[in-house]
Structure 1
């Protein structure tokens, strides 16, 4: 019976519907409703004394369903915590949270969870059936909350954890995407000048009948190369990105080497390294503080570090701790963690406040990442301006040099 209900829940599909019609006193009104079918929309609107004129299912990615993002999961955890703390029964809490979700995909997910819990599964078992949305940490904390009768606190802890991790991810992305985007724009502008603008000047210079300056000749040669091979170059870049991403997904050794290379990059590598330490510390503090055994908490922290190098290091720490080693000593043996983090963890172990000290480690390195990202942005701005000025300005000057020389002869 439970299996049949589960499969029925899996088939649930919601869509976003746009409607227009007439309300009381003949006023024209319109809006959006999330429902499974047109009949449901008509039934809901008729219950509100609305005369329906048009109903149209919104199109888009996933038929307007949207995509479930980490922020949606964080909001779900916080809302469920609030409902359970207020004494609302679990099934009713699911219903209220589902109705408050604006994104159809998220509403459908919450209703699936509700149906599975109604069929007899526990909250944690239900979450484990959806690993694409709920990671091991989420499931472990919910299970610990169910066993200890503190589900609301555990859900609140999950929401806070995800909030901090997503904030850290956003800072790292800012450090990576800002210079990449600006440099890509600079290369794009330079390519357009070489492919489209320089050839116009080249046809003009052919009528001069005089030898062109060396800088202009070099620019024209670059332009000829760009015109001949720009498509090949673009294809090579796209192919390289595709094969690197595919290699990271399919080959563990290749993924490890790429992640190790990322940690050795100037400036950026230091930011990535500190962010991995912060995520490891935050995850371990959250799971261990919730009563999860240390070895199991380390298994969760390994997958949450976001880097294969640190994942392998944490797995080594877990194996050493399982044989009786202290956590800080096992961390030191990997030669991967900063000395400050190892020392603070050692103090936490001696004081019997490991989770509190791990949270302090995470706070310290999150703040360090934030400062480094701000410093990187401040340093890159003048550097990028100089690079773009040299690229674009050099091309413009090289094209106008013959015109200046011609003017001086006349």
Structure 2
């Protein structure tokens, strides 16, 4: 059946967008009208250009999966649970809007997993676990596993952000100092010495100051576009890949990222396997969820090994990418029939290693940043004194 995209007003009077399959436009309009929706616009999906959507925020996913699991476990119907959740102010407005679109998709005959997949903001792990939970009649358990998975991911992310707070603050403070010197101190200083032209880094700061004063609107527009564009770009898959590549250029951070990747891969794989997802699909999704290109490139080789009858341990060992501890723990899990349990244990171990390495990196970054800022300020001070002496000398010769 063809797929249509439409704009409509729901029974609560809110504007929504949706995507549904139907035999024809007339059939879709008829069905939605019976549900109380007022159709404003409808067209085949092929007629609309597809845009890349931003991923759902991790905070929304943690709260949603936990509350959705609790409601399903308490016997609340899926549609009723989604309606309640779509009205909660605890979620961001875009996320609530997506839940409303999912309700429309479910009304149109889609399964829960299909509706979440169509929304385009949820990762394959969530979609596949929902599908496994639906087919096995254990949706609440699948959602609970998702909640634990997202909570662990958020915990690691929050630790990293907390550790980087001080270095970021110092960097911003240093930039503000340079801006104050450039915008307020240097202009007053040079006005005292007349129209003598400075040189070197002082000249660069003076020229930057003149440009910002004379073209402040252009600077403001550029900074706004760069900030907003950068924020949204970093939430796209391309932004995640760019950030991963950039961080991998620094050896200490590269090692930290590898530990974080091993932890994320292990937790995701354990969650998928314990929910009944096939091992080959689980490996693909677990690798893609890490956004680590070095690991993702090894996925075809791992899948080929598994397809040819090899074990998961052999598939991981042949890539020469994974830490030996992880490989051996997987082998032990396969021998005992407890692969998911072993993966969770090794993930916990790597989480602790990430915390230790993160503290070590921060302990090195802090004095390094202070040293760099000290050198920059010292060089700037030297340049200022040198320029002042040159100006005084020039002014003295001019007086003679």
Q: What is the deviation of 1:378?
A: 2.9
Unpaired runs of 5+ in structure 1? Answer: 15-33, 38-65, 208-216
1:329-359 per-position Cα deviation (integer Å, ceiling 9, x unaligned)? 2222212212222222222222211111111
- The aligned counterpart of 1:84 is 72
Q: Assess if the C-alpha contact under 8 Å between 1:301 and 1:314 holds in 2.
A: no
Q: Closer, same or farther in 2 for the Cα pair 1:179/1:367, shift >3 Å?
A: same
**Aligned mates of 1:297, 1:329 — CA distance in 2:** 16
Q: What is the deviation of 1:261?
A: 6.0
1:346-397 per-position Cα deviation (integer Å, ceiling 9, x unaligned)? 2222221111111112211122112222232233223322332332245346
- The aligned counterpart of 2:45 is none
**Aligned mates of 1:330, 1:68 — CA distance in 2:** 32
Q: What is the deviation of 1:199?
A: 5.3
Q: Closer, same or farther in 2 for the Cα pair 1:364/1:35, shift >3 Å?
A: farther
- The aligned counterpart of 2:119 is 130
- The aligned counterpart of 1:60 is none
**Aligned mates of 1:100, 1:194 — CA distance in 2:** 48
- The aligned counterpart of 1:152 is 140
Q: What is the deviation of 1:7?
A: 4.7
1:114 aligns with 2:103: yes
- The aligned counterpart of 1:324 is 309
Among candidates 375, 378, 393, match of residue 390 of structure 1: 375
Q: Closer, same or farther in 2 for the Cα pair 1:178/1:298, shift >3 Å?
A: farther
Unpaired runs of 5+ in structure 2? Answer: 16-53, 213-218, 393-400
Q: Closer, same or farther in 2 for the Cα pair 1:92/1:229, shift >3 Å?
A: closer
**Aligned mates of 1:145, 1:250 — CA distance in 2:** 26
Q: What is the deviation of 1:111?
A: 2.4
**Aligned mates of 1:250, 1:36 — CA distance in 2:** 30
**Aligned mates of 1:201, 1:351 — CA distance in 2:** 76
- The aligned counterpart of 1:44 is none
Instruction: Give the SS at the match of 2:276.
Output: coil
The alignment yields a C-alpha RMSD, in angstroms, of 4.2
- The aligned counterpart of 2:20 is none
1:96-153 per-position Cα deviation (integer Å, ceiling 9, x unaligned)? 2223345443333222222322333221121121122x22111111111111111100
- The aligned counterpart of 2:200 is 221
Q: Closer, same or farther in 2 for the Cα pair 1:256/1:138, shift >3 Å?
A: closer
In the comparison of the two structures, how many residue pairs are matched? 337
Instruction: Give the SS at the match of 2:310.
Output: coil
**Aligned mates of 1:107, 1:379 — CA distance in 2:** 42
Normalization by structure 2: what TM-score?
0.70
- The aligned counterpart of 1:211 is none
